[in-house]
Chain A
């Protein structure tokens, strides 16, 4: 399986060509640095993203708490995680990096507050 990946490590934006079986990389070219090689390889075999969104605050109508995944989560799980977060309500006070949802969707990754409220 062939895939073209635009590198997002720096503004140069190399177009990296990767070939493999969908998981393991057999051939990779078009990158300009080591970080690009790493990005291209990871992006081919297992793309991950930082998920950011908001959660509702208990008793504060219309007020939202911005949250993020503490580490990048597998790309294919983004919507599944959104569903869980959508049904989450947090209580105040909450501090930056307090956990809003722990081990989201069995990823082992926490969803944490990015702001202190209350």
Chain B
């Protein structure tokens, strides 16, 4: 078997892998290698031709290709090595090896000082959410349609219904409209928007596309091609009210119904997975339950902003480089980071306490939308960090920064406190 040695091996050349590679190299790792299955770097950003990226990181509004372009320029400058068209088959965390196939070298073994998982996520499909009806042509996940339209010049349909108000769904509503299709409606099961408000304004309202909140598709019609879908309102238990079902004619249905971290390699390696995020459990260094393996980006938890993915991945790259050089801070103690009131999950879920004082960012999502709240982190009864927020929403990630020197006890809890 062909063998390659490196200090840090990064699986995935999307935004997470690219940011991890730059910081690993900048931290002093000598040989950093990105292993990517596609024929180019950039990951999903290659098909995200729309603007809205980089607002927090670069303070300007970039498109996906411009955003990843800044990172590919940087990795070229830093001398990060890249292996394209390479599918990773196995991660052996004990031996610190990554086994992949590549058309040039055949079966290849990459031996590394540390490994960064940056495989991203994939879309939930119709099968995941079980929509009754026939199985005609014209049913796509929103991201698959986005790839066909934006990268392969294939128009997927003319009269479109979109299920799910996630960002990709709304962005595809605008894209299909600009390309001449009629988007009949966007149907959302919940009573609130799943994606960002700015996407509702710029992708739906701008083009007069109706948004049906608290509605769902109950059935798909059509034999060879979709001819229509039945849409019904749902009650408070999200059960469709079938008496109010209506037929909506269309030739295409796009599903924008959530993303799942792609963790087959992680699970196979026996790395501990969090049941809420479906991603590996990590500490503030983005280190998984297997010490030589780090993880970042959507493989850990699904983000709404790539800017967050980049900063989180820079942490992963930095500490993966330090691990490879045997320079990770000595942990004196490990404490748990847990969820409190109106918090669905936190990331990282574990914190390591060392002599090094650190500012630790804890990212989290709420369960329900709320107004006028305080976000707080507390150890026992002592609040160690808090900030006021006018509005929280499950579709928008929140974060709170804590000072590691203030951590006491075995646990820190993140919660949303409702003000009176």
Contact = CB atoms under 8 A, between A and B. Distances in A.
Q: Do A and B originate from a single complex?
A: yes
Interface in A34-91: 49-54, 56, 62-64, 66-68, 75, 78-79, 82
B391 interface: yes
A47 B18 CA distance: 35
Nearest to A9: B198
A32 B65 CA distance: 33
B222 interface: no
Contacts of B178: 51, 53, 78-79, 82
B201 interface: yes
Contact of A49 (B63, B65, B151, B206): B206
A96 B62 CA distance: 12
A13 B178 CA distance: 25
Contact of A52 (B49, B198, B390, B396): B49
Contact of B153 (A6, A12, A62, A114): A62
B66 A11 contact: no
B50 A49 contact: no
B380 interface: no
A62 B152 contact: yes
A116 interface: yes
A31 to B, nearest CB: 13
A67 B152 CA distance: 15
Question: Which of B65, B66, B150, B179 neighbours the largest number of chain A CB atoms within 10 Å of its CB?
Answer: B65
Interface residues of B, number: 27
B198 A96 contact: no
A75 to B, nearest CB: 7
A82 B198 CA distance: 22
B69 A13 contact: no
A26 interface: no
B206 A52 contact: no
B153 A54 contact: yes
A52 B197 contact: no
A114 B197 contact: no
Nearest to A8: B198
A49 B51 CA distance: 10
Given A11-B391, A64-B150, A82-B178, A96 B69 contact: yes
Contacts of B198: 8, 13
Interface in B219-235: none
Nearest to A68: B63
A116 B46 CA distance: 12
Interface residues of A, number: 27
A64 B65 CA distance: 12
A52 B63 contact: yes
A23 interface: no
A64 B202 contact: no
A2 interface: no
B197 A8 contact: yes
A50 B206 CA distance: 13
Interface in B174-190: 178-179
Contacts of A63: 153
B69 A115 contact: yes
Question: Which of A13, A62, A75, A96 neighbours the largest number of chain B CB atoms within 10 Å of its CB?
Answer: A13
Contacts of B61: 50
Given A54-B153, A64-B151, A6 B65 contact: no
A71 to B, nearest CB: 11
B42 to A, nearest CB: 9
Given A52-B63, A68-B51, A12 B206 contact: no
A32 B389 CA distance: 13
A75 B203 CA distance: 12
A64 B50 contact: no
Given A13-B198, A52-B63, A62-B153, 8 more contacts: A6-B201, A12-B391, A54-B49, A54-B153, A63-B153, A78-B178, A114-B64, A115-B65
6 contacts: A6-B200, A11-B393, A11-B396, A53-B178, A56-B153, A64-B151
Interface of A: 6, 8, 11-13, 32, 49-54, 56, 62-64, 66-68, 75, 78-79, 82, 96, 114-116
Interface of B: 49-51, 61, 63-66, 69, 150-153, 178-179, 196-198, 200-202, 205-206, 390-391, 393, 396
Would you list the 3 A-B pairs with minimal beta carbon distance, nearest first? A8-B198, A66-B49, A13-B197
